[in-house]
Amino acid sequence: MQFPSIRNKFINYNRRAAEQNCLSLLGTCNSLSKLTQIHAHLLKSGLHNNPLVLTKFSSTSSDLNAIDYASSIVFSKDADTQLYDTFLFNSIIRAYAQTNHTKQNAIFSYNLMLRYSITPNKFTYPFLLKASAGLLDLNLGKQIHGSVIKVGFDTDPYVQNTTVHMYSCCAGGIEFARKVFDEMSKSSPVSWSAMIGGYVWVGRSTEAVGLFREMQVAGVRPDEITMVSILSACADLGALELGKWVQFYVEKEGIPRTTELCNALIGMFAKCGDVDEAVRVFRKMNEKTIVSWTSVIVGLAMHGRGAEAVSFFDEMRRVGMNPDDVVFIGLLSACSHAGLVEEGCRYFDLMVNEFAIVPKIEHYGCMVDMFSRAGLVKKALEFVQEMPIEPNPVIWRTLINVCRSHGELELSESISKRLIGDEPMHGSNYVLLSNIYAKMFRWEKKTKIRKMMEKKGIRKVPGCTMIELNSEIYEFVAGDRTHDRDEEIYKMVDEMGREIKKAGYVPATSDVLLDIDDEDKEDTLNRHSEKIAIAFALLNSPPRTAIRIVKNLRVCGDCHSATKFISKVYDREIVVRDRNRFHHFRDGSCSCKDFW
C-alpha cells in the first residue's frame, strides 16, 4: 500500500528538480538563441504551462528585448489560461512598460488581465502608470489613476510616487501631480524627489527650488536623485550659488558622487557660467561616460571656447571613447561659436566617413549656423540647397537672420512668408517678418503683421532676465515696473547710461525697429531687461563682485555694447547667458570677441 505514495513523491521530486533546472537555465540565459533552446526544453519537459517558469521566462525575455516572443508563448492558443496569475501578468506588463516602443502593449496586457478575471495588485499599477508616462497620455493616466482609487491602492507610497511622475510627464498634468503630492504623507525622500523632478521636467525650475527648500525645512534628507533634479533646476535658472551649495551639501552629507550626479554638476556649472569648475569636476571623476564627455564639450562650446572643446574631443578619442551623434552636435556647435569653419567642416566629414554616423537635422543646423555666423551667406544657402533632408524651421530662421544682417532683405522676406505658411501659429515667424519690414522702412506692412498677430492671439515673447542674489531668484522683463524698488532701479539705469556715455558708449538706436524718434529709441534701449537686472545687481551686491544674469532671448547688439562699457566703468565681471551662449565681460571687452 505504500508504493503509490512513494511513486507520487518521486514524481513530485522530479518535477521540482526539472522546475529548478529550468529556472537556473533562465537565470544564466544571455542570448535569444539560448532562450529559444530553453523554450524547446520547456515543451519537452512539460513545463511550458508552469506559472513560475513562465514568469521567469517573461522576465528573462524582457532583459533580452524579446518580450513579444515571451508573450506569444504565454498567450498562445495552447496555453492553459487557468494557470494565469497576477504575478505572471505583472511581469509582462512591467516588461512592456520598460521597453521604449511597446508601452501600448502594457495597457493591452492589463486589459487582457481583466478579461481573464485576474485581480491586479499594488505592484500592477506603477508599471501601468510608467507606461502612461512614456506614452505622454494624460487621459489614459487619469483612467489608470481612477482605477487605482477604485481598488484602494491610492495610499500606497510607490503607487503615489509613480502617479506624480506620470502626471508630471504629461502635458497639462503638473497641477494634478501637485494635488497627489499634497495628499501624501511626504515622509519619504522619493516623494519629494518625484515632485521636484516633475517641476524640473516641465520647466518650472523656480517652483522646484522652492519645493526643495520646503523639503529642507521639513527635515527630509534628499537623496542622489533629488540632487540631480535640483542641479538641473539650478542649471535652468543660472543659480550658481545654490548649485555650489548643493555640491557642498553632497560632500558634507556623504551622498555618493555617482556618475550621474557628477554629470549633473558638470552641466550645472557650465550652464551657470563657471565652465572652469565644470572641467575640474570632470577631471576628478573616476569613471567617465559618453554623457560626461559630451557635457564638458557642450559646456565649452556654450562659452565660446571652441579650441578647448576640440582638444577634449581629441582626448576623448585617444582614451578609446567612441563619439556618438550627440557629441558631434556639441563639437560642431563649438566650432560655430568660435568661428572655426575649416575645423567644423573637417569634423562633419569625419563624423560621416570615419564613424558612419548619419547626420541629423541638428548637425545640419550647426553647419548652417557656423557658415552664417562667419558671414558666409552664399555658402550657407548652398549647404541648405544640397541637404538630403528637408530643412526645419530653425534652419530657415537662421538663414533669415543672416540674410537680413547682410542686406538680403527680399530673400529674408520670401523665406519668412514661407515659414508663416508652414507654421501659422509660431510667433517668432511673424516677429522676423515684422523686423524685416522695419529694416526696409515699410511701416505699414509691419503694422499689418502686428495686427495679424493680435487677431490670431499670438503674442511676442517678451525679453526676460533672471538674476540670483543672496540665494533668491529675481526676474525682470523689458520695461519692468513691478519691483518694489523700481524707482531706485531706474535711477541706477539712468546713471549707468550717463556714465558709459562718458566712456564712449553710443546707443545703437538702429536696433530699435520702431517708427519713433532717436530719443524714444534710446529710452526703449535703456529699458531692456538685462540693463534693469544689471542695475539691480549694482545696487545690491558688493563692489567688484561678479554679476551673473540669464536672458531668455539672444542678447541684442546695443546691450552687448553697453555691457562691455558697464564692466569697465563699474569694475565688474559680468557673465551673461543668453539663448545661444555665454558672454564674459571684463574690463570693456567680451569673451566672444564680438563674434556671436
Nearest to 26 by CA among 42, 45, 46, 44: 42
pLDDT given for residue 400 in this prediction: 87
Tell whether the model's pLDDT for residue 12 goes beyond 60. no
Mean pLDDT of 441-462: 86
pLDDT given for residue 345 in this prediction: 96
Mean pLDDT of 436-464: 86
Whether 203 contacts 239, CB under 8 Å: no
Fold of 187-287: 1.25.40
pLDDT, greater one: 62 or 579: 579
pLDDT, greater one: 271 or 64: 271
Q: At 6, is the pLDDT very low, low, confident or very high (cuts 50, 70, 90)?
A: very low
pLDDT given for residue 265 in this prediction: 97
pLDDT, one tens digit per residue, over 76-96 is 666 666 667 888 788 888 888
Tell whether the model's pLDDT for residue 49 goes beyond 80. no
Mean pLDDT of 477-494: 88
Judged by phi (left if over 0) then psi (alpha if -120 to 50, else beta), residue 356 lies in left
Q: At 39, is the pLDDT very low, low, confident or very high (cuts 50, 70, 90)?
A: low
| Rg, the chain, Cα only | 30
Instruction: Give the pairing type, strands 582-586 and 547-551.
Output: unpaired
Tell whether the model's pLDDT for residue 53 goes beyond 90. no
Average the pLDDT over each of 269-273, 343-347, 419-423 and give the range with the smallest value: 419-423
pLDDT given for residue 2 in this prediction: 46
pLDDT given for residue 258 in this prediction: 93
pLDDT, one tens digit per residue, over 337-394 is 888 999 999 999 999 999 999 999 999 999 999 999 888 988 998 999 999 999 999 9
| Nine-digit cell string for 141 | 493616466
Tell whether the model's pLDDT for residue 505 goes beyond 80. yes
Average the pLDDT over each of 15-19, 160-164, 421-425, 479-483 and give the range with the smallest value: 15-19
pTM above 0.85, yes or no: no
CA distances from 35 to 30, 62, 67, 80, 294 (A): 8, 11, 11, 21, 37
Tell whether the model's pLDDT for residue 72 goes beyond 80. no
Mean pLDDT of 158-162: 93
CA distances from 87 to 58, 99, 137, 331, 545 (A): 11, 19, 26, 48, 61
Number of C-beta neighbours around residue 207 at 10 A: 18
Per-residue three-class SS string for 278-341: HHHHHHHCCCCCHHHHHHHHHHHHHCCCHHHHHHHHHHHHHCCCCCCHHHHHHHHHHHHHHCCH
513 Cβ neighbours under 8 A, 6+ residues apart? 434, 435, 438, 439, 446
Mean pLDDT of 439-455: 87
Which three-class secondary structure state does DSSP give residue 93? helix
The b/e string for 552-582 (b: 16+ C-beta within 10 A; e otherwise) is bbebbebbbbbbbbbbbbbebebbbbbebbb
| Nine-digit cell string for 202 | 516641465
| Nine-digit cell string for 214 | 520646503
Cell match 503638473: residue?
A: 174
Tell whether the model's pLDDT for residue 494 goes beyond 60. yes
Nearest to 197 by CA among 224, 216, 221, 157: 224
Mean pLDDT computed over every residue of the chain: 86
The neighbouring-strand residues paired with 576 are 549, 583
| Nine-digit cell string for 58 | 517573461
Q: At 456, is the pLDDT very low, low, confident or very high (cuts 50, 70, 90)?
A: confident
Mean pLDDT of 324-333: 94
pLDDT, one tens digit per residue, over 294-313 is 999 999 999 989 999 999 99
Q: In sequence order, which ranges of 238-274 are alpha helices (DSSP H)?
A: 240-253, 259-271
Q: Which amino acid is at 592?
A: C
Neighbouring C-alpha atoms within 13 Å toward the C-beta of 329: 13
455 Cβ neighbours under 8 A, 6+ residues apart? none
d(CA 148, CA 120): 10
Tell whether the model's pLDDT for residue 8 goes beyond 60. no
d(CA 578, CA 340): 21
Tell whether the model's pLDDT for residue 153 goes beyond 80. yes
Tell whether the model's pLDDT for residue 59 goes beyond 80. no
d(CA 185, CA 188): 8
Angle CA(165)–CA(166)–CA(172) in degrees, nearest 5? 110
Across 381-538, the runs of DSSP E, i.e. the strands, are 464-469, 472-477
| Nine-digit cell string for 229 | 533634479
pLDDT given for residue 9 in this prediction: 38
* Angle of the 51-63 helix axis to the 86-97 helix axis, nearest 10: 10
Domain parsing of the chain, residue ranges: 84-186, 187-287, 464-590
| Nine-digit cell string for 549 | 544674469
